[in-house]
């Protein structure tokens, strides 16, 4: 196996395992935990990569031969656009790179705690940055198929990994790490302020979120929940855990409840999911796809703080994640699903009405 087809996976200074491309067509990845991780570590993805010594081989679909937990590390949307633009300027066609080579470009600078070696990532640890300048650059990149500009490398350094369609960067602010978003094509002029206001509203409705801030009065920022006191925290999206393609409607909120029941064994997490489901339905956030929910591991599994909460029409007003198998859910669907997953119906009814009243206030 050539080095081009083999990489190491690390987390917080410990090697988790080794991943290689199999010689079969279409090419799928094989992964094996190290002896040390088997002894002292945990399953980084309990359903597809249980903590056993057996060699695991991924399915080709839906992540082109990659395990979901590692596919979460790859950029999509904006991140892939700027990375592709940067590499093309260097004479490299990203489509000629296999998935393992792409993970090496993420290296130690991705979301969550997973790192990939050899590490070929770019780094930018400077706290200060000019938001106005970077916002102008991102708009120019989105408006042209070949625009490079002066600050493309800095944008890649600060945002080559984040997912989602909207331009975004990682940055440090007063010693803590944040993710800051800029406008995308078609966004309202005040999209940053709008997302900030909904984050404040979500917290008032009992939704757990990281700290949020409006930088410069117009750029929405959220403190990274995968960075705590300098430590990297392991994060896996629901799509990554379930091998679910986030680009298509393929999930129901019942799957999130089932994940919480299997992973966290926490009634508190079940209620967190329920509140988030109610909030998304009531504000019309139909962009509730499989990558917009996550679970974190920090000595044990928990449902991650909510993110990407905004009214969004989705596809023809249908929720990407259905409720009780209904992509246009009603109150009856919410209560029916609460009943199915074992939540107290009176409490579920009270929480729904509480959130609805706060949204109408």
Please give the distance of CA 126 from its chain centroid, rounded to a whole number. 24
pLDDT of residue 1: 34
What are the tens digits of pLDDT across the range 266-291?
999 999 999 999 999 999 999 999 99
Per residue in 59-79, pLDDT tens?
A: 999 999 999 999 999 988 788
Q: What angle do CA 290, 294, 295 make, to 5 degrees?
A: 140
* pLDDT for residue 83 is more than 50: yes
Which class is domain 131-225?
alpha beta
Question: Which helix (H) or strand (E) element contains residue 18?
Answer: strand 14-21
In terms of residues, how long is the chain? 361
Spell out the alpha helix ranges (H) of the chain.
Answer: 35-40, 68-71, 78-89, 99-106, 131-143, 152-159, 191-204, 238-242, 253-263, 267-283, 331-340, 345-360
| pLDDT level of residue 337 (50, 70, 90 thresholds) | very high
Q: Strand pairing partners for 252?
A: 322
Mean pLDDT, to the nearest integer, of 177-183? 92
- So where are the chain's domains? 131-225, 231-360
**Percentage above 90 pLDDT, the chain:** 69
pLDDT of residue 17: 98
Taking residue 224's Cβ as centre, other Cβ atoms within 10 Å add up to 21
**Closest to 295 in 3D by CA, of 38, 47, 126:** 47
Place 164 in a pLDDT band, splitting at 50, 70 and 90: low
């Amino acid at each position: 196996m050539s080095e081009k087809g083999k990489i190491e996976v690390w987390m917080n200074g410990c090697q988790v395992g080794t991943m290689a491309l199999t010689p079969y067509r279409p090419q799928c990845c094989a992964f094996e935990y190290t002896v040390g991780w088997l002894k002292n570590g945990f399953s980084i993805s309990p359903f597809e990569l249980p903590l056993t010594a057996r060699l695991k081989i991924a399915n080709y679909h839906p992540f082109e031969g990659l395990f979901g937990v590692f596919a979460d590390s790859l950029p999509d949307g904006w991140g892939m656009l700027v990375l592709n633009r940067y590499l093309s300027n260097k004479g490299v066609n990203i489509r000629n790179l296999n998935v393992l080579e792409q993970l090496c470009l993420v290296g130690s600078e991705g979301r969550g705690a997973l790192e990939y070696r050899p590490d070929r990532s770019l780094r930018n640890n400077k706290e200060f940055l000019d938001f106005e300048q970077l916002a102008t650059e991102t708009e120019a990149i989105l408006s042209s198929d070949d625009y490079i500009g002066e600050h493309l490398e800095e944008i890649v350094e600060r945002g080559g990994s984040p997912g989602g369609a909207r331009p975004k960067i990682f940055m440090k602010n007063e010693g803590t790490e944040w993710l800051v978003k800029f406008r995308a094509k078609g966004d309202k002029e005040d999209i940053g302020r709008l997302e900030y206001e909904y984050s404040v509203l979500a917290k008032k409705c009992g939704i757990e979120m990281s700290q949020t801030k409006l930088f410069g009065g117009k750029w929405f920022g959220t403190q990274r929940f995968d960075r705590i006191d300098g430590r990297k925290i392991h994060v896996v999206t629901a799509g990554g855990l379930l091998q679910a393609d986030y680009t298509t409607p393929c999930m129901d909120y019942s799957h999130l409840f089932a994940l919480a029941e299997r992973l966290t064994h926490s009634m508190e997490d079940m209620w967190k999911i329920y509140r988030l489901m109610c909030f998304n339905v009531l504000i019309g956030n139909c962009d509730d796809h499989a990558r917009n929910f996550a679970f974190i591991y920090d000595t044990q599994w928990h449902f991650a703080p909510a993110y990407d909460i905004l009214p969004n029409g989705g596809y023809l007003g249908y929720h990407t994640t259905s409720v009780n198998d209904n992509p246009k859910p009603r109150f009856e669907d919410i209560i029916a699903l609460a009943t199915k997953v074992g939540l107290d119906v009176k409490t579920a009814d009270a929480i729904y009405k509480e959130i609805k009243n706060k949204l109408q206030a």
